[in-house]
Amino acid sequence: MTGDTTGTVRTEVTGGVALLTLDRPGKLNAVTDEMSGELLRAVDRLDADDAIRVGVLTGAGTRAFCVGSDIGQVGRYADPWAFRNRRDYCTVLRGVRKPLIAAINGYAYGGGLELALSCDIRLASRTASFAAAEIKLGWIGGGGVSALLSASVPASDAALLLLTGDPVDAAEAYRMGLVSRLHEPGELLPAALALAGAIAQRPPIAAQSAKANLLAARSMGLAQAIQYEREMQAICMGTRDAAEGRVAFAEKRPGRFTGH
């Protein structure tokens, strides 16, 4: 692991899965400007490398997934306009075409909650906790927390998190629907990697299309989203992977999908 002055983002690729680890455990994986730039480069690699089909995001150590931006660096910006125009790490993560899984192993506070919400699937340790804590410091989140919470949990629960800033534990987050599955701490990362490995075996064009459809469903009206899905289905049906899927089904064997 790195020292805690600036931190880093480690990338390990195995069998079509990229594990991205926020590596600043002594500072609860608070994101520095340097780490934000490294995350940008890591997700650019994830999207550009056809051998990588799924990403998993986690935090180093046992205490924290991520507690958001390093508060000590917020004062570096010349003025609020410069802060507004920064390259936000949550926006970077939401721009990834490929499926992303968050393995939330501890505190997911502030921008860390937004990072988790920016992933497609969220798994959590039973020791994890979640908070939109910015309101306690005099501001609010700006990485998509309001919109993403509203799309993920009931309205009253979203308001409770945003207006109090108080943490909720993993069991409560599961009840809300904020996370899909809970695991014992030592089982979380293996479970996330196993899930990622299963998704990596799916035809990659179809998997990326499914993700695009889910995003469209959030931002389009019902009729437009269904039409978008129909168009994406037609694109998938014209791929070699779809032809392979039909042959594999007829031959009663697993498909061999290449992303073409």
What residues are labeled active site? 114, 134
Q: Which of 68, 84, 163 is CA-nearest to residue 117?
A: 68
State the Cα–Cα distance between residues 260 and 252, nearest whole angstrom: 21
Q: Which residues contact 79 (CB under 8 A, 6 or more apart)?
A: none
| Parallel/antiparallel/unpaired status of strands 8-14 and 64-66 | unpaired
Reduced 3-state DSSP string for the chain: CCCCCCCEEEEEEECCEEEEEEECHHHCCCECHHHHHHHHHHHHHHHHCCCCCEEEEEECCCCEEECCECHHHHCCCCCHHHHHCCCCHHHHHHCCCCCEEEEECCEEECHHHHHHHCCCEEEEECCCEEECHHHHHCCCCCCCHHHHHHHHCCHHHHHHHHHHCCCEEHHHHHHHCCCCEEECHHHHHHHHHHHHHHHHCCCHHHHHHHHHHHHHHHHCCHHHHHHHHHHHHHHHHCCHHHHHHHHHHHHCCCCCCCCC
